[in-house]
Amino acid sequence: MITQGQESIERMIFRKTNANIGRHISVSPENSSMQHLAYGRIILNSTKPLVSFSNGDRETGLICLSGQAQVKANGTETRFGQYDAIYIPRDSSIEVSTETDVDLVELSSDVEKKYPLQVVRFAEISKDPSMKFSTGGPGSSRHLQMVLAKNIEAGRLLAGFTRSDPGNWTSWPPHEHAKMLEELYVYFEMPEPAYGIQLVYKNTEYPELVTVVRDGDAVLMPAGYHPNVSVPGHSIAFIWAMAAHREVEDRQFGVVNVEPAFNQVGLRLEAIHKK
């Protein structure tokens, strides 16, 4: 028998989302606590070198984790490599192919308006200190890279990477932004035996989620504080993806509420990296 609490947890964590070849959507509003955000993987190789699909009323972001791909959409063909990304407007027919192999994160959200197709080159945005920066202090040092953020025009989607220093906390001090944004983390580049601990809570005495996370897992944060920590000697690395509740208006990075008990720690993201 599955209790209500167990069912809630099952809708917050999705394991080994990188286990299948082809295009697989792991998280959507239909099977999770997300209202807008969907996440999947497109993993192609010589056995399946091409997929095609239409995104309907959903804006789509593709982020390359490894390999190389060609993406055709709206009459445009784009080749991109590791950590490059592409934003594709709603009502698009999309074809993704590779001549070698590729691992892409697919993010999407429903939108009313149509925004332009935009290509994001990692090499270019890495030169911008407002897009790539380090933050935190002793025990919480980490490195952030924004990918689909203030650099693009979009309706709801925001996304980027975070990597901790070995054994450090991230998303610290604990903060939340549930009135504006829902969020999920996708853990990557954490080879065995690396793992982390992810928390999601409104009250530390009764956390909604405390779980071990490994490469390929996804955790959803519809509400509540959501810090995590890596084991000593290893980093925790994840893609963070957010969807604004109010299209455009709530699409802001760094506007957060810090857990009052830790508010004196300060949070660099609040003022400096606000969109």
Is residue 2's pLDDT more than 60? no
pLDDT in tens, 87-129: 999 999 999 999 999 999 999 999 999 999 999 999 999 999 9
CATH architecture of 4-272: Sandwich (2.60)
pLDDT in tens, 13-28: 999 999 999 999 999 9
Which of these, 20, 27, 29, lies nearest to 103 by C-alpha position? 20
Confidence of residue 271 (pLDDT cuts 50, 70, 90): very low
Tell me, letter by letter, the H, E, C secondary structure of 119-185: EECHHHHCCCCCCEEEECCCCCCEEEEEEECCCCCCCCEEEEEEEECCCCEECCCCEECCCCEEEEE
Domain ranges of the chain: 4-272
pTM above threshold 0.95? no
Supply 146's token pair: 């924004």
